[in-house]
Amino acid sequence: MTQSITTLDSKEAAFLTTFAGQGKMIFTSAQAGEFLGESAHTARILARLEKGGWLHRLERGVYMIIPLEAGPERTWTESALVIAPHLIRPAAIAYWSALHYWQLTEQLPGTIFVQSTARKRQSEKTILGMTFRFITVVKTKFFGVLQRTLNGQALYVTDREKTLVDAADHPELSGGPLQLAQALQAAQPTLDWLRLDDYLQRWPNTGPLKRLGYLVETLALSLPDREERLARWQGALSPGIVALEPGAATEGGRIVTRWQLRVNVHGPWPVEEGA
């Protein structure tokens, strides 16, 4: 059942309108105390505002003013990406969510994927109807993060090239191989291929290189120094076969030896394989 909305007194109304007017939609209890006064009084007001449906507690000591557009059911999706840095640090919008942010896919994921080197006790958290999923990575995989602003709030997102490498590392977190293929095609005109090369060289394994190389080749994408680059990518591959779609059934999947890849899903790629 929806929480009833408590009537505000003058102090509470002044607090909410002041913080909202200053763009402090997300704030700490210490920041609230600078306006409301001593800590016990501040704690009582914040608890009352949270109970009344005016605030949502993101983490201990971190609150968000619930936007009016959330409606009586208190569900909200717009600008949700700015919440991530307040849930875990460091934080970067990544995988399928980053593909959508960069307009490399039209598919809006139902989950907001957040990449971090830190680990949370719970891998998922739902806030105002939005599910955040936290993906922990080793430090060598956490780079290529840009700071952007959305409605005056800071957000952190992996850049286009890092987003593609992440999606190739974990297609299952990025809509699958077909989504990755479509993202590559969409990114092709503006992609920084030298930066992509650098990221692939820095990666601690060659799984993303195998998947991206295969897709670039079979989709006949146009890129600078295409043949030389593909040959260089092939020369950098480590031994071992990886699946185009991790976790999918591998029975009957054909192996493309030049990319050390098992093509275990159907898509816009050749049915027959020439090694």
- Where do the CATH 1.10.10.10 domains begin and end in the chain? 10-70
| pLDDT tens digits, 194-215 | 999 999 999 999 999 999 999 9
CA distances in angstroms from 204 to 2, 18, 129, 138, 259, listed in the order given:
48, 48, 36, 9, 17
- The residue-averaged pLDDT of 137-160 equals 94
Tell me, what's the pLDDT at 221? 92
**Cα 30 from chain centroid?**
29
At residue 260, the pLDDT reads 96
What's the rounded mean pLDDT across residues 264-272?
72
Q: Helix count (H) and strand count (E) of the chain?
A: 9, 12
Question: Which fold, 10-70?
Answer: Arc Repressor Mutant, subunit A (1.10.10)
Cα dihedral 8, 9, 12, 15, rounded to 10, equals 110
What is the reported pLDDT for 275?
Answer: 44
Listed residue (138, 143, 186, 190) closest to 165, CA to CA: 143
What is the 8-class DSSP label of residue 68? G
pTM of structure: 0.87
Measured CA distances, 177 to 30, 180, 256 (Å): 45, 5, 15
